[in-house]
Structure 1
Amino acid sequence: MKITAIDPITLSIPFEDGGAGVGITPQRWHTLDMVLVRITTDTGLVGWGEAFGYFCSRAVAAHIRDLVAPPLVGRTVDDPAALNLELQRRLALFGRYGLTIFALSGIDIALWDLKAKAEGVDLATLIAGRRKREHVDAYASLVRYGSTELVARYCEKAAREGYRSIKLHEVTMPEIRAGRGAIDRAISFTVDVNCSWTEDRAASVIPELVALDTLWLEEPVFPPEDWDALRRLGALGLAIAAGENACTAQEFGHLAQAVRYPQPSITKVGGVSEFLRVAAVARANGQMLMPHSPYFGPGHCATLQMAAALDEFGMFEHLYVEPQAWVGGEPQLPERGRMGIAQRPGIGFEPDPEVLQRYATS
């Protein structure tokens, strides 16, 4: 089975979240900017992947077309992990992390999708020999509201829907207190500040976060790769989580010594191949993965396949928003805080052609 074409497809799907869409991203965030990767082969099989594309979809698509894809056309799809490493070596001069690894991530997911489809099994079975689970616990990952009233409202809503774990993206304590106060203490509670605090600020609020029964504090400081600061904060009595901005298992080797919960993002870390290498690092260090997965296309599906394949997979992150359309056609939503895992060949994703046509940006 040889690759005949690799094509990026950029989409922009509006979503509603009940907030103003400001605070986390450089501009207002109200669309899901996706970069799908379609790989066609001489056998007629088609593989689908997803590269990280929020606010950078056109640039990532250009990296795929002009830099990462050309060396692969005509190659045989038999060992995606080996192709991934070969490309990382060949692309090192062009930036091993950031847009280049985002592009490679999407291609890698599509290659694994193809390999599993060719063997007639779902990706989890291809990787692990058998599926470890059919469902995974999901937590509601709320957007940043910057309002105590909105935080309380949406925490209460998620709790009513059956979520047993809720994550805030608030950066000030009044909103964080409001979120914790709106839900039962039996519901686990986490806080992601997206690198907004100094080390001193984080250290000063950790005692209160512990008192609020916070399961973890996520990405507390800038820069996110300040391993020493993360390690010092982790010694203060609250678990630290990080990793959505870390690329390749190399960075997770450092991160494993600094945090309790590593958080690889399959569309950013280097795809399935690097995700599996990160899982091996976590396994060696006795850690549970809490992957970053605010996706609604192949990235969502591939992450769920990792949940079915890996014992060290913890909870699935579900971005708590309402997309205007679902790129796979049917809604992908947890039920009572549990996410079902598709058992179809490959990663379990096929796009809805009408959605591709309606929301395409290029």
Structure 2
Amino acid sequence: MSTIDEVTAAAYRVPTECPEGDGTLAWESTTMVVVTVSAAGVMGTGWTYAPAAAAAFVTEALAGTLKGADPDGIPAIFAALTRQVRNAGRPGVAGYAVSAVDVALWDLKARLIGVPLTRLWGMAREEVPLYGSGGFTTYDDAATVGQLTHWVHEQGIGRVKIKIGESYGSRPDRDLHRVALARRTIGQDAELYVDANGGYTAKQAVRVAERMREQDVTWFEEPVSSDDLAGLRLVRERCDADVAAGEYGCDPGYFTRMCQARAVDCLQIDATRCGGYSGWFAAAAVADGHHLEVSAHCAPNLHLPVAAATAGLRHVEWFHDHQRIEAELFDGAADPSGGLARPHTDAPGHGLTLRTAEASRYRVA
């Protein structure tokens, strides 16, 4: 029996092409934390998008639990990691760290037996539907048009999402202007989604939703904070547009309550935050028990294999920041042309390999 003999973690901070922002946050760089777990000369890789402190947390708090463990026993390791982070809290930095480790463990297990993850889990579909996601509130009209044109008219992606709720909902007129601009740019045949990142109050979100009807917006994500279940329910009851859950941490009780409240139309799951692939399957099972579809949040290439293994999938978010980083720093990144992406079926694990030399110039921890 092989055992885990090495654990590493590194953080890479990649500048954005220009300042980016959404309804409640602005940023000029994105940090990716990469974890490797090795056994019998084989290495598995996982990653998350999190503060650089998550890398230190892996090496200082989690590596001791991992070393000497059987890489086939992922459920036992996951339970041990969960116990280890009890006092640090499963959401936040600790949750990001556990998520990256879990992805690395599944990648390692598949590579040790020489199969792709899609073979290890089984596939529900060969191709995964996706949507282009970006349209930041900091973009001027030209940048917005350029990005949407590239996705819809050059790459053939038939679903796109832009950010609204600018400055905590203080500029609704500009939000509505940008929604109308997006519709004119993509035409009537493409689906238009929006994401307020919790920037509105509930009644404000209802008013904005009413104004967006004429632009045929069919997905209104996090119109209010995803912690505000009563607000989500109000928006859902008052609007015909779908309301997504938005992003959340890895507290299973949270998304169980959200399902029970029926405040959402579709649950977003983020494997880089909710406990990796193990957390994904747990959340997807809860959603399935409530007859809800799931949508992958960000980190598109990481999500492709697990999305392909999930019967109740709606789509994967092809988030601009993350797909740009993954395409630059990993061999094996997928092609989104046509609005569908294929997970690797011809390489072991998730099929991606970090380009260490290229990534080194961004390393911060």
Normalising to structure 1: TM-score of the pair?
A: 0.89
Q: Counterpart in 1 of 2:265?
A: 260
How far 1:288 sits from its partner (Å)?
Answer: 1.4
Q: Counterpart in 2 of 1:70?
A: 64
**Is residue 124–residue 308 contact of structure 2 (8 Å, CA) maintained in 1?**
yes
Q: Counterpart in 1 of 2:80?
A: 86
How far 1:348 sits from its partner (Å)?
Answer: 1.2
How far 1:302 sits from its partner (Å)?
Answer: 3.1
What is the one-letter code of the residue matched to 2:244? Answer: A
**Is residue 51–residue 104 contact of structure 1 (8 Å, CA) maintained in 2?**
no
**Runs of 5+ in structure 2 lacking a partner?**
166-174
Q: Counterpart in 2 of 1:288?
A: 293
Query: In the superposition, relative to structure 1, how do residues 13 and 329 fare at CA in structure 2: closer, same or farther (>3 Å)?
Result: farther
Q: Counterpart in 2 of 1:348?
A: 351
Q: Distance in 1 between matches of 2:244 and 2:292?
A: 11
Q: Counterpart in 2 of 1:312?
A: 312
Q: Distance in 1 between matches of 2:285 and 2:326?
A: 37
How far 1:7 sits from its partner (Å)?
Answer: 0.9
Give matches, 1:151-162, under 5 Å: 151-161=144-154, 162=156
Q: How much identity, in percent, do the aligned residues show?
A: 27
Choose which of 48, 51, 58 in structure 1 pairs with 2:48: 51
Choose which of 133, 139, 144 in structure 1 pairs with 2:136: 144
Q: Counterpart in 2 of 1:120?
A: 114
Decide which structure has greater strand share. 2
Note if 1:12 corresponds to 2:13.
yes
How far 1:324 sits from its partner (Å)?
Answer: 10
What is the one-letter code of the residue matched to 2:224? Answer: V
Give the total of aligned pairs.
347
**Is residue 20–residue 145 contact of structure 1 (8 Å, CA) maintained in 2?**
no
**Is residue 264–residue 275 contact of structure 1 (8 Å, CA) maintained in 2?**
yes
Query: In the superposition, relative to structure 1, how do residues 323 and 279 fare at CA in structure 2: closer, same or farther (>3 Å)?
Result: closer
Give matches, 1:319-338, under 5 Å: 319-320=319-320, 322-323=324-325, 326-329=328-331, 332-338=334-340
Q: Deviations over 1:108-129 (max 9, x none)?
A: 00111111112222112212xx
**Is residue 3–residue 39 contact of structure 1 (8 Å, CA) maintained in 2?**
yes
More displaced 10-residue stretch of structure 1: 167-176 or 315-324: 315-324
What is the one-letter code of the residue matched to 1:227? Answer: L
**Is residue 243–residue 255 contact of structure 1 (8 Å, CA) maintained in 2?**
no
Note if 1:33 corresponds to 2:31.
yes
Decide which structure has greater helix share. 2
**Is residue 95–residue 249 contact of structure 2 (8 Å, CA) maintained in 1?**
no
Give matches, 1:155-194, under 5 Å: 155-161=148-154, 162-171=156-165, 172-194=175-197
Query: In the superposition, relative to structure 1, how do residues 325 and 70 fare at CA in structure 2: closer, same or farther (>3 Å)?
Result: same
Q: Deviations over 1:144-184 (max 9, x none)?
A: 14434433343233221211000001222111221122222
What is the one-letter code of the residue matched to 2:133? Answer: S
How far 1:3 sits from its partner (Å)?
Answer: 1.1
Q: Distance in 2 between matches of 1:50 and 1:178?
A: 35
Q: Distance in 2 between matches of 1:99 and 1:259?
A: 26
Q: Deviations over 1:272-324 (max 9, x none)?
A: 0010011111211221111102x3xxxx4331001221111221211235559
Query: In the superposition, relative to structure 1, how do residues 126 and 313 fare at CA in structure 2: closer, same or farther (>3 Å)?
Result: same
How far 1:325 sits from its partner (Å)?
Answer: 6.6
Note if 1:271 corresponds to 2:270.
no
Query: In the superposition, relative to structure 1, how do residues 15 and 324 fare at CA in structure 2: closer, same or farther (>3 Å)?
Result: farther
Q: Distance in 1 between matches of 2:340 and 2:15?
A: 25
Q: Distance in 2 between matches of 1:112 and 1:324?
A: 19
Q: Classify the secondary structure of the residue corresponding to 1:69.
A: helix
What is the one-letter code of the residue matched to 1:50? Answer: W
**Is residue 52–residue 106 contact of structure 1 (8 Å, CA) maintained in 2?**
no
**Is residue 243–residue 265 contact of structure 1 (8 Å, CA) maintained in 2?**
no
Normalising to structure 2: TM-score of the pair?
A: 0.88
**Is residue 148–residue 179 contact of structure 1 (8 Å, CA) maintained in 2?**
no
Q: Distance in 2 between matches of 1:157 and 1:2?
A: 46
Q: Classify the secondary structure of the residue corresponding to 2:186.
A: coil
**Is residue 125–residue 309 contact of structure 1 (8 Å, CA) maintained in 2?**
no
How far 1:243 sits from its partner (Å)?
Answer: 3.7
**Is residue 123–residue 346 contact of structure 1 (8 Å, CA) maintained in 2?**
yes
What is the one-letter code of the residue matched to 2:291? Answer: G
Query: In the superposition, relative to structure 1, how do residues 333 and 13 fare at CA in structure 2: closer, same or farther (>3 Å)?
Result: farther
How far 1:226 sits from its partner (Å)?
Answer: 1.4
Q: Deviations over 1:184-235 (max 9, x none)?
A: 222111100111111111011222223322121111113x211121122111
How far 1:90 sits from its partner (Å)?
Answer: 3.3
**Is residue 20–residue 28 contact of structure 1 (8 Å, CA) maintained in 2?**
yes
Q: Distance in 2 between matches of 1:325 and 1:164?
A: 21
**Is residue 194–residue 219 contact of structure 1 (8 Å, CA) maintained in 2?**
yes
Q: Distance in 2 between matches of 1:27 and 1:157?
A: 23
More displaced 10-residue stretch of structure 1: 118-127 or 150-159: 150-159
RMSD: 2.1
